[in-house]
Amino acid sequence: MKITDLKCAIIGNSPVIRITTDEGIVGWGQVESSKPYLKPHVLFYKSYIVGEDPTDVERVMLRIRRLGGFKPWGSAVSAIEMALWDIAGKAAGLPVYKLLGGKVRDHVRVYNGGVRFPMQGQTPQDYAEDVAKQKAAPEGFSLIKQGIGFHGPMPVHVADFSYSTPLSGPPHPNRGLLTERGLKHIVECVEAMKAVLGDEVGLALDCGPGWTVPDAIRFAKAVEHLNLMWLEDLITGDYTPYTLADVYREVTRRSATPIHTGEQIYLRQNFKDLIERHAVHIIGPDPADIGGMAELKWVAEYADLHGILIAPHGILDGLIGLAALVQVCATLPHNFIAFEYPRPKEEWWYQIVDGLPSPIVQNSLIKVWDRPGLGVELNPDKAIPYLRDEDKDFFD
């Protein structure tokens, strides 16, 4: 079998990958919906993979992996890897989890980062009301992640929040030393959320990036009594092309509250210091950024050897990305907690992707399906109306 073409179309805001073969088997991949600009990045790799055998996944990946990097290039490489595994599974007549070593679990747990409701403000009461709605969601989430601190509008909307000038613009642009009032406000919001969730639903916090080390330590200690699941991306995070393992370690070694990072990291080599230095308690790689599904599994196994937990990121990965997360997370060792449930903004995605269960999530769990490959297909007849003019030949 040989790869005959690599195409990328922007559907909604999501770059979708289609790899075709001379035996008529098609593989699908998807990039985060925050990257509609990624089409040329994906197509850059076309000349490197056309003519290769897609079922030799690692051989193909060796041709392109070192040409990737932190976002956005790693996203393009990752989506291609998903599509290769999809083809390999279909060619073998097996679900991808079988090719990655087989299931460890029949159901995979998800946490809520994407089923959201408009918030009225940034007060403790606003946060309490918001998590009450999330707690009542039909998916029955057992774990909720909430943005707080520098990961959201707090620096702009809360008076005297920090000693820095509030900024707007690129994602999460603020950074600096918190005022005493700012730190107290964050703690009060967290306490209000836990009062609603109790011990029935776990609470994780997406915090940054942007915290200073002293503030991160103060905050982690201030919320120790609340038994939070984790504090995510305090120091580095979204669109940060470095890890700063030594800085994270200063926070982690002073905190009984678990510290988490990793969604932006590309390749195992860039997790090496975080894991070997025990710089965090939990890592959160995204299969659409780390280099793909097999790369995520390798890092999960290595983290497990070092007593580090894993809760993969995935909020923007779309429904093809959801399928990839289900397949790989079924194979992860027992350091797996849950993965972040992708929820497309446009409801029509559920009409154009075939193969998903209904409902997808029950009691915070997704049953692992057994169809070949990723187990989902993009339906051409239903998807064509959502293609841009320049992508009308996507299914040709």
Interval 121-136: pLDDT, tens? 999 999 999 999 999 9
Residue 268's closest CA among 227, 303, 304?
303
- Predicted local confidence at residue 170, as pLDDT: 80
Q: pLDDT higher for 166 or 92?
A: 92
Query: Has residue 16 been placed in a domain?
Result: yes
Domain shared by 242 and 304, yes or no: yes
Query: Has residue 164 been placed in a domain?
Result: yes
- Reported as a single tens digit per residue, the pLDDT across 226-275 is 999 999 999 999 889 999 999 999 999 999 999 999 999 999 999 999 99
Query: Has residue 396 been placed in a domain?
Result: no
Percent of the chain with pLDDT over 70: 100
What sign has the CA pseudo-torsion 376, 363, 152, 249? Answer: negative
- Reported as a single tens digit per residue, the pLDDT across 311-341 is 999 999 999 999 999 999 999 999 999 999 9
Domain shared by 146 and 84, yes or no: no
- Predicted local confidence at residue 98, as pLDDT: 98
Domain shared by 89 and 103, yes or no: no
Q: Are 304 and 331 in contact (CB under 8 A)?
A: no
Query: Has residue 196 been placed in a domain?
Result: yes
For the chain, the average pLDDT equals: 97
Domain shared by 69 and 142, yes or no: no
CATH number, position 86: 3.30.390.10
Query: Has residue 242 been placed in a domain?
Result: yes
Phi and psi torsions of 110, nearest 5°: -120, 155
- Predicted local confidence at residue 4, as pLDDT: 98
Residue 29 has pLDDT above 90, yes or no: yes
Domain shared by 309 and 324, yes or no: yes
- Predicted local confidence at residue 380, as pLDDT: 96
Domain shared by 14 and 79, yes or no: yes
Number of domains within the chain: 2
Q: Are 52 and 6 in contact (CB under 8 A)?
A: no
Domain shared by 25 and 165, yes or no: no
Pull the structure tokens for residue 363. 């009691």
Domain shared by 184 and 293, yes or no: yes
Residue 192 has pLDDT above 90, yes or no: yes
pTM to 2 decimal places? 0.97
Query: Has residue 118 been placed in a domain?
Result: yes
Query: Has residue 277 been placed in a domain?
Result: yes
What's the mean pLDDT in 265-293? 98
- Reported as a single tens digit per residue, the pLDDT across 87-132 is 999 999 999 999 999 999 999 999 999 999 999 999 999 999 999 9
- Predicted local confidence at residue 382, as pLDDT: 97
Domain shared by 9 and 121, yes or no: no
CATH number, position 326: 3.20.20.120
The length of the chain is 396
Q: pLDDT higher for 172 or 141?
A: 141
Domain shared by 37 and 185, yes or no: no
Residue 383's closest CA among 83, 28, 102, 4?
28
Residue 34's closest CA among 328, 263, 267?
263
- Predicted local confidence at residue 168, as pLDDT: 85
Full domain range(s) for residue 64: 3-94+378-391
- Predicted local confidence at residue 196, as pLDDT: 98
Where does the pLDDT of residue 185 fall: very low under 50, low under 70, confident under 90, or very high at 90 and above? very high
Q: Residue type for 266, please?
A: Y
Query: Has residue 244 been placed in a domain?
Result: yes
Domain shared by 56 and 179, yes or no: no
Domain shared by 116 and 54, yes or no: no
